Amino acid sequence: MATLKQIRQRIRAAKNTQAITRAMKLVAAARLTKAKNKVEEARPYSEKMYEFILSVGGAGELPPHPLLTRRSQVKKVALVLITADRGLCGSYNTNLIKAAKVWLDKQEAATSIVAVGKKGGQFFGKRGYEVAQTISVPTAGADLDDAVKLTDTISEMFTTGEVDAVYLCYSKFISAIRQEPRVIQLLPIEPPQTEEIESGSAKSYGFEPAPEELLALLLPKYLLTVTYQALLESSASEHGSRMTAMSSATDNAGKMIGELTLTANRVRQAAITTEILEIVAGAEALKN
């Protein structure tokens, strides 16, 4: 059984850990509020952009554009994996890595990974997967400049023929305790299909300016919007998961401190009782 000194050392260590986890919980909660606000502000714009692409797709056959080019033979695909730079955020990184690994193992073509956040790149790099690039994002969360850099990177990889398709694995933010890993196709951009298009009764649209000019402006913005939204969703998911994990760790540390304190009191009481018995026995021995 541990001595009273060892138990007190464990209590001090648990209290120090509890102070750290409580501070991390408060920081994550503050960052989550900001990240959640950004997600909620960006979603309406993202939804309207999606609706616009949907309506443009209703025009039927679209003019050629580099971001719409579908390769006849897909030899290599890239997966943009958005994880965190740090741990201590519950199952956030684990769930994303698991979803990405399932998707990668199903691919028949060669695969390459663009890791946004160190955790994903480190995991797959150690297991023999090709990690083309690792991009770090600020601890407080990605901003528009980070989305622009990432969009430029994947656009160049696709338009130069380095890869034939680009997919994105990110975590959609539902709440602080619920995040859903998702894998979606980024490139080539495929306009969403409506029931009218599928049934062959698509409407005829007139474009102003010309369709080529419209697509040259619209498609890069649409790609940037999807990428930026995914970064915001992932940032909010990370902070929510970290806040939940640190809250649980703080509560567990409190329970451990209570149990160790109770054990220390019992050990201390037993030591006092033993000393009293020894004193009484010594006194009785002197009398005899």
Which residues, other chains included, contact 266 with Cβ-Cβ below 8 Å and sequence gap of 6+? none
Contact 147, 46 (CB under 8 A): no
**pLDDT for 274 beyond 90:** no
CATH topology classification for 25-195+203-244: Pyruvate Kinase; Chain: A, domain 1 (3.40.1380)
Residue 169: active-site member: no
- When pLDDT is averaged across residues 257-268 and rounded to a whole number, the result is 90
pLDDT band at 254 (very low <50, low <70, confident <90, very high): very high
Q: What are the residues whose beta carbons fall under 8 Å from the beta carbon of 70, sequence distance 6 or more?
A: 188, 190
The answer on pLDDT for 59 being more than 60 is: no
Residue 88 pLDDT class (50, 70, 90 cuts): confident
Q: Are 82 and 230 in contact (CB under 8 A)?
A: yes
Report whether pLDDT(265) > 50.
Answer: yes
| Distance from C-alpha of 80 to C-alpha of 166, rounded to nearest angstrom | 7
Give me the pLDDT at residue 52, please.
73
In tens, the pLDDT along 123-178 reads 999 988 999 888 888 877 788 888 999 999 999 999 888 999 999 999 999 888 88
How confident is the model at residue 196, as a pLDDT? 43
Cα-Cα-Cα-Cα torsion 110, 115, 119, 120, nearest 10 degrees, comes to -30
Confidence of residue 104 (pLDDT cuts 50, 70, 90): very high
The single residue of 81, 82, 89, 163 carrying the catalytic annotation is 89
pLDDT at residue 17 in the model: 93
> Is the per-residue pLDDT at 222 higher than 80?
yes
Cα–Cα distance between 100 and 96 in angstroms, integer?
A: 6
Per-residue confidence (pLDDT) for residue 207, from 0 to 100: 61
β-strand partners of 131: 113
| CA–CA dist 268, 6 (Å, integer) | 12
- Place 197 in a pLDDT band, splitting at 50, 70 and 90: very low
Q: Which two tokens stand for residue 4?
A: 């009273």
- When mean pLDDT is compared across 42-56, 125-139, 216-230, 243-257, the lowest value belongs to 42-56
